[in-house]
Structure 1
């Protein structure tokens, strides 16, 4: 028997924007609102507690963006983005999110989005978060200022200047920061392309280092070196990585 009633979570840092969604949903009695959240931290907790079928998700939020929230979800509900900006981000969302709403939007436009939502829900389909994030990454040329990770049920924001190094870990990366390490479903190539190149260098296929935390270089064998980090870790450097490191450190 197909499910006919669904639940939704409204996530937006602006109360009036949340009120608009709740008001427009009155024309859709098959959707029950299980909560409203003003930031990504509240949203993660509510998603874990309520397991909503739909997220009405603001893209730009001050603590954690909508995309950063999606990065740490194990399972992603059907997503409708809302945003005040119609630039590169929307082009990336078109192929991955169910729909996006450009603020301010009308009841008619909202209803059009809901038709897509209901069609997807009735098929039992889920938003492909991995594809969504890949499309967004490809569309964005901006450098990372922070990385959002999840430990247990909690979300943490790591400023990139606190990252000491990143290690490849099969289909994931391990991010080593101050007194902590975090596994993240992302590629080394992504970080290589989105971290400040004068600060972060890929020294090996398995390592990207923050040069501020490289204490010294030591010979490993005849033609290779290791980077000695400030906390004592010894990271192998490839020939290509050594060349990049020399250029970055200007020695």
Structure 2
């Protein structure tokens, strides 16, 4: 049986370099590439891989959440630029990791260990994920309180508490608030980590919503999930990876 892998990395140069090294070092490996956590969750729902190479610091849905979605049979390799505290956590949890920038020699040693353990159930990862989440919380910047957005030629300061959501469209992002619509040039990828993760969810690669602003969610005639926000007469797409989370609200 051909072994399968999921590679999740949001930075294109690093993603392409790692994919090329995997092809060279493990030619028979069938690699699926995802550029963000949402795409990774969708790929896992289709077919769980034998091994996953996960960047921890993904915007929005990070590598830790992706790891929790993987079955126990999947071997996990974290790719990380974290400091020695994180390395100690990896080693204590007996979980494979590769420090960035990734070298072919280091990756080759990791692949050797992974291949040797493909038929074995991986060690429990929850203690490690909890330790990494604690480290991430200690080093995170406080969420922003307001955002500067444009309405025509006018720039306005919009309080985060007044915002229903952010919708990416073409080269700009719509700011949807109780004061109306404005636009910013900031991408969702750059925006999501500046928001309070308990209040704002990225439910689609084009949409971040305030949880309390969700009016309702339902399937359309094609079976795809969508939602509406309070005070807005517009339907927005929802990733299949988040449909279950909405049903549980």
TM-score, normalising length: structure 2: 0.52
Cα distance change on mapping 1:17 and 1:97 into 2, 3 Å: farther
Residues 1:48 and 2:45 aligned together: yes
Between Structure 1 and Structure 2, how many residues are aligned? 152
Larger radius of gyration: 1
Unaligned runs of 5+ in 1: 147-156, 164-176, 181-251
**Structure of greater relative contact order (alpha carbons < 8 Å, 6+ residues apart):** 2
TM-score, normalising length: structure 1: 0.52
| Cα RMSD after superposing both structures | 3.1
Cα distance change on mapping 1:137 and 1:161 into 2, 3 Å: closer
Q: How does 1:196-215 map to 2 (within 5 A)?
A: none
Q: How does 1:165-176 map to 2 (within 5 A)?
A: none
Unaligned runs of 5+ in 2: 144-192, 201-210, 215-249
Quick one: distance in 2 between partners of 1:120 and 1:18? Answer: 24
Matched residue, 1:132: 128
Contact map agreement 2:4 2:50 (CA 8 A) in 1 = yes
Cα distance change on mapping 1:120 and 1:131 into 2, 3 Å: farther
Instruction: Provide Cα deviations, 1:39-61, integer angstroms capped at 9, x if missing partner.
Output: 10000001111210111111111
By how many angstroms is 1:121 displaced? 0.7
Quick one: distance in 1 between partners of 2:13 and 2:135? Answer: 30
Cα distance change on mapping 1:143 and 1:160 into 2, 3 Å: farther
By how many angstroms is 1:179 displaced? 7.3
Residues 1:117 and 2:114 aligned together: yes
Residues 1:69 and 2:66 aligned together: yes
Question: After TM superposition, where is structure 1 displaced by more than 4 Å over at least 4 residues in a row?
Answer: 137-141, 143-146
User: Does the residue aligned with 2:108 lie in a helix, a strand or coil?
Assistant: helix
